[in-house]
C-alpha cells in the first residue's frame, strides 16, 4: 500500500517559500522573539513587585492596627486604675517604638 502525501505540489511550494523567507530574514524573527520576551519579562516583574508592595502594605496596616489595639487595652487598664500613668506611657512608648524597627 502506498501512503498518500496530503501536502501536494502547492503545499510544498508554500513550505519552500516560507523556509526561504525564514532563512533570509532570520534576524527579524530573532529580534521579534527577543522583544516579545523582554515585554513579557517586564510585565511579569512588574506584577511581582506590585504584589510584594501590596503584601508589605497589608502587613504594615495589620501591625498598626494591632499596636492601636494594644494601646487601647493599656488605656482601659489606666482608666480602671490597674496601672499608673507612668506605666501606661512606658508601654505606649514601647509599642510605638516596635513599629520603627526596619524589617527586611
pLDDT digits (tens, 9 = 90+) for 36-66: 999 999 999 999 999 999 999 999 999 889 9
3 falls within a domain = no
Would you say the C-alpha torsion 45, 49, 52, 58 has a positive or negative sign? negative
Which domain range does residue 75 map to? 29-98
Split into its structural domains, the chain has a count of 1
47 falls within a domain = yes
16 falls within a domain = no
1 falls within a domain = no
| Cβ atoms of 88 and 78 closer than 8 Å | yes
For residue 5, pLDDT beyond 80: no
State the Cα–Cα distance between residues 77 and 24, nearest whole angstrom: 82
Amino acid at each position: 500500500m502506498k501512503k498518500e502525501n496530503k501536502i501536494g505540489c502547492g503545499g510544498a511550494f508554500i513550505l519552500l517559500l516560507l523556509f526561504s523567507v525564514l532563512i533570509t530574514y532570520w534576524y527579524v524573527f530573532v529580534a521579534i522573539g527577543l522583544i516579545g520576551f523582554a515585554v513579557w519579562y517586564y510585565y511579569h516583574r512588574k506584577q511581582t513587585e506590585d504584589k510584594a508592595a501590596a503584601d508589605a502594605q497589608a502587613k504594615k496596616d495589620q501591625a498598626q492596627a494591632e499596636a492601636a489595639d494594644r494601646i487601647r487595652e493599656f488605656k482601659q487598664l489606666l482608666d480602671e486604675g490597674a496601672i499608673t500613668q507612668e506605666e501606661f506611657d512606658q508601654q505606649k512608648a514601647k509599642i510605638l517604638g516596635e513599629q520603627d524597627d526596619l524589617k527586611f
